[in-house]
Chain A
Amino acid sequence: MQPTTLFDKLWSRHAVLEHPVAGTLLYIDRHLAHEGSRNAFSLLRRRGLKVRRPDLTTAIVDHYAPTTSRDLAHVEVASRRQIIADLATNAEEAGISLLDLAHPSQGIVHVIGPELGLTRPGMSIVCGDSHTATHGAMGALAFGIGASQVAHTLATQTLWQKKPKQMRITVKGRLRPNVTAKDMTLAVVARLGAAGGTGYAIEYAGPAVEALSVEGRLTLCNMTIEAGARFGLIAPDQTTFDYLRERAYDGDEASWQAQVGDWSTLRSDEDAAFDKEVEMDAASLKPMITWGTSPEDGIGVDGVIPDPATINDAARRNSKIAALEYMGLAAGTAIEDIRFDRVFIGSCTNGRIEDLRAAAATIAGRKAVIPAMVVPGSMAVKAQAEREGLDRIFTEAGFEWRLSGCSMCAGMNGDLGRTGERCASTSNRNFVGRQGAGVRTHLMNPAMAAAIAITGHPVDISEVRP
């Protein structure tokens, strides 16, 4: 038999049919819908169509969720209040289960999917959000779609797709202390460039990837779209199975073993061919930080801002010059000399319990010198952090301890920085205006963001930690 990749296996499992012109009709096992699905529901309504499988769809309030209150009446902007209310109305009318503001399992869609066992190996998963590749970390075929494809999924539970090219990124060796999955993904995006993965599905493999916890793997796959690829995935293994068993399994031993037996086949065959292979060395990776307005602009924290004048291509050179101007930075400046005004810890990239533990461990009794906000990725993460006393570490250091949601990562719920402020952020995008008009965003891992909160500038974490 022809050797196949993990992606091939997931793809063929979900092929309803092959059409000579339209491509593969893929079945969607799980559809996660947030407030932005409103346009798709409107489209269905205009056409008089019903939701085909409400039982395979889950609705979650995350993008517009206020992080200071769970009372919708406290959302001041009418259009935001309305879009949250519309999700509830649409879910109720269609018979879709809803995790609304007040639900104890509410959280960012890419955090709660794995947490609640909605995400499982072998599934196909879509969401109207570009960071849906996050779920690929569990060995699922997961990808982000736009509103029209959300409507298509609601109406048919399928999508027409043409198989993308495939890339494998093998990360060898071991990460050094204080270097995290976030640094790995920033290094991948820097290596490939913001469009380097366009048209590809990316499988992450190798000892350094296998050594990551499930949460680290979710972080790694989360930013796949920042390299242009819609799909990021990792073969499920014992780490994945243990994670699921612990959180989201209440069946008997025999059916669990049967399931694990099936999931264990979800891996690329030894001789499977990829269209592109990339190798990286984990031991050479440093804590990363971005300096520009594209996630591809990541460098080691001990580095200096590169000089865009040396770029040959004019369009690229001008883009990077404009980025430095927006960021208020000069080529040659040492990263450690950059002074910050604000810190955001959270998001579907780094809002999980391990992220909050890493941030809390860095504070060690010191006080924040700039405004800092911690937004847990879900209410379950928040509860766990409070059981561990992390909330007190944050609040005693002067950090704000908020309720879960996308918050300053998406910039839609009103949590924003002020014009001209420089923000240390554990999120996934440093785009112009992403965290507020004129706000300068630097992406980094949670421990680094916490260190910046207590020192005001990037530092070697090992010197801050007790």
Chain B
Amino acid sequence: MNPFTSLAATGLPLGLENVDTDQILPARFLSLKPEDGYADYCFRDLRFDADGKPVTGNPLTSGDYAGAPILVAGANFGCGSSREGAVYALQHFGFRAVIAESFGDIFYQNALVNGMLPIQANGETIRAILARLQENPGTSIHIDLETQTVRVDGSVTFGFVIDSFKKHCLLNGVDEIGFTLAFAADIERYETRVGI
């Protein structure tokens, strides 16, 4: 896993509540291999209409936010299906962090193990960031994982909570499987004890 330490970059004000992983990566693309790239499919049906024409009036298709690496969304972002492809799609599209009012549990875990930082902020903070980005699309957002803080130029500064183990893994690019294999003897002892 690539480490995540800090990031100073522009943001995309998606807003919206209950953005499910079907929206992030529609089911029809799931049989394709992530190795071949998911960037084209990320938010496909929010970016293009049924005839394949770009949807206008949408931050995902607006030139103002093209290439912004930080996605800002409302409550319950990434709810629904456990598809990890949703995280790959966001990463392939260029997102490295998501700031949202809350996250779907499975999406949140999937993001962390892939080195994409999910940051939870309260509703008031989210509204302030969205407003700032809508007025000043080039605004820089400064994320520092070590101190668990976010500073939005000309707007809010806030702290965020992250599990200490997940933080350690992100900062150091620790791979969980490698970490767990060091406990193989404990796993064997458990198997013997319960007879499985």
Interface residues of A (CB under 8 A from B): 13, 16-17, 19, 21-23, 25, 27, 29, 35-36, 38-39, 42, 47, 49, 52, 56, 64, 77, 79-80, 82-83, 128-130, 144-149, 151-152, 155-158, 160, 162, 194-195, 198-199, 225, 228-230, 293-294, 296, 313-316, 318-319, 322, 410-412, 419, 429, 431-434, 437-438
* Minimum CB distance partner of B163 in chain A: A162
Judging by beta carbons under 8 Å apart, are A412 and B177 in contact? no
Could you say which of B63-71, B137-145, B149-157, B178-186 contacts chain A? Answer: B178-186
A400 to chain B, nearest CB (A): 21
User: Contacts A27-B190, A146-B113, A151-B177 given: A315-B183 contact, CB under 8 Å?
Assistant: no
Could you say which of B3-11, B24-32, B89-97 contacts chain A? Answer: B24-32
A-B contacts, 8 listed (Cβ < 8 Å): A19-B165, A36-B83, A79-B31, A146-B106, A155-B180, A160-B180, A198-B76, A437-B26
Q: At the interface, yes or no: B37 with Cβ under 8 Å from chain A? A: no
Residues of B within 8 A of A42 (CB): 35
Judging by beta carbons under 8 Å apart, are A145 and B106 in contact? yes
Judging by beta carbons under 8 Å apart, are B183 and A148 in contact? no
A35 to chain B, nearest CB (A): 8
A253 to chain B, nearest CB (A): 21
Judging by beta carbons under 8 Å apart, are B176 and A228 in contact? no
Cross-interface CB contact of B18 among A29, A145, A158, A319, cutoff 8 Å: A319
Residues of A within 8 A of B76 (CB): 194-195, 198, 228
Residues of A within 8 A of B179 (CB): 22
Judging by beta carbons under 8 Å apart, are B16 and A319 in contact? yes
Q: At the interface, yes or no: B134 with Cβ under 8 Å from chain A? A: no
Judging by beta carbons under 8 Å apart, are A319 and B180 in contact? no
Cross-interface CB contact of B105 among A23, A199, A296, cutoff 8 Å: A199
In the complex, given contacts A17-B190, A434-B27, what are 17 additional A-B residue pairs having Cβ atoms less than 8 angstroms apart? A16-B190, A21-B164, A21-B168, A25-B183, A129-B81, A146-B106, A147-B110, A148-B176, A149-B113, A151-B177, A155-B181, A156-B181, A225-B80, A293-B18, A412-B30, A431-B22, A431-B80
Judging by beta carbons under 8 Å apart, are A432 and B27 in contact? no
Cross-interface CB contact of B102 among A21, A195, A314, A437, cutoff 8 Å: A195
Judging by beta carbons under 8 Å apart, are B105 and A228 in contact? yes
Distance in angstroms between the alpha carbons of A429 and B23 in the assembled complex: 12
A226 to chain B, nearest CB (A): 8
Cross-interface CB contact of B83 among A146, A149, A225, cutoff 8 Å: A146
Judging by beta carbons under 8 Å apart, are B105 and A80 in contact? no
A262 to chain B, nearest CB (A): 12
B72 to chain A, nearest CB (A): 11
Interface residues of B (CB under 8 A from A): 15-18, 20, 22-23, 26-28, 30-35, 45, 50, 74-76, 79-85, 87, 101-106, 109-110, 113-114, 123, 126-127, 163-165, 168, 176-177, 179-181, 183-184, 186-187, 190-191, 194, 196
Residues of A within 8 A of B123 (CB): 313, 315
Quick one: which of A29, A162, A194 has the most chain B CB within 10 A? Answer: A194
User: Contacts A77-B31, A198-B104, A319-B17 given: A47-B82 contact, CB under 8 Å?
Assistant: no
Distance in angstroms between the alpha carbons of A431 and B114 in the assembled complex: 25
A117 to chain B, nearest CB (A): 16
Distance in angstroms between the alpha carbons of A19 and B27 in the assembled complex: 37
Distance in angstroms between the alpha carbons of A180 and B105 in the assembled complex: 28
Distance in angstroms between the alpha carbons of A16 and B18 in the assembled complex: 35
Residues of A within 8 A of B35 (CB): 42
Residues of A within 8 A of B110 (CB): 146-149
The 6 closest A-B pairs by CB, nearest first: A146-B110, A146-B84, A147-B84, A195-B76, A79-B31, A319-B17
User: Contacts A36-B30, A144-B82, A195-B75 given: A17-B186 contact, CB under 8 Å?
Assistant: yes
B179 to chain A, nearest CB (A): 7
Residues of A within 8 A of B183 (CB): 16-17, 25, 158
* Minimum CB distance partner of A15 in chain B: B190
Residues of B within 8 A of A429 (CB): 20, 22, 80-81
Distance in angstroms between the alpha carbons of A224 and B84 in the assembled complex: 19
Residues of B within 8 A of A146 (CB): 82-84, 87, 106, 109-110, 113
Residues of A within 8 A of B26 (CB): 433, 437
* Minimum CB distance partner of A297 in chain B: B18
Residues of B within 8 A of A199 (CB): 105
Distance in angstroms between the alpha carbons of A23 and B181 in the assembled complex: 15
Judging by beta carbons under 8 Å apart, are A152 and B106 in contact? no
Judging by beta carbons under 8 Å apart, are A16 and B186 in contact? yes
Distance in angstroms between the alpha carbons of A166 and B87 in the assembled complex: 27
Cross-interface CB contact of B187 among A56, A77, A156, cutoff 8 Å: A156
User: Contacts A22-B165, A152-B176, A419-B50 given: A128-B82 contact, CB under 8 Å?
Assistant: yes
* Minimum CB distance partner of B29 in chain A: A79
Cross-interface CB contact of B74 among A319, A412, A432, cutoff 8 Å: A319
A61 to chain B, nearest CB (A): 13
Distance in angstroms between the alpha carbons of A182 and B76 in the assembled complex: 23
Judging by beta carbons under 8 Å apart, are A130 and B168 in contact? no
Residues of B within 8 A of A157 (CB): 187
Quick one: which of A23, A129, A315, A316 has the most chain B CB within 10 A? Answer: A315
Residues of B within 8 A of A410 (CB): 27
